[in-house]
Amino acid sequence: MLILYVKTGCPFCAKVLSYAQAEDIELDVRNIAEEDNLKELMEKGGERQVPYLDDTEHNMRMYESDNIVDYLRTHYASKA
């Protein structure tokens, strides 16, 4: 499962979401405006920074939109 923590109005989050949508990559999007989602993010990553990707299937977690897009491109984008 790919979980992406985001914040409303975050341009870096929008960049990741746009790429995932264009490549038809399914994400479980969790907005940190909701207290439970912020608590999860802090427990997993230790920082309030978004976007934050948690790939539970491959035990990979990361910040930084460019790194996340590169990771999605490498591991999840269609190879057509």
Return the HEC string of the chain.
Answer: CEEEEECCCCHHHHHHHHHHHHCCCCCEEEECCCHHHHHHHHHHHCCCCCCEEEECCCCEEEECHHHHHHHHHHHCCCCC
The CATH number that domain 2-75 falls under is: 3.40.30.10
Instruction: With cut-offs at 50, 70 and 90, classify the pLDDT of residue 79.
Output: low
Torsion angle (degrees, nearest 10) of CA 62, 64, 69, 74: -40
Domain ranges of the chain: 2-75
**Residue 28: beta bridge partners?**
3
Enter the pTM of the model.
0.94
pLDDT in tens, 11-54: 999 999 999 999 999 999 999 999 999 999 999 999 999 999 99
Phi, psi of 64 (to 5 degrees): 75, 115
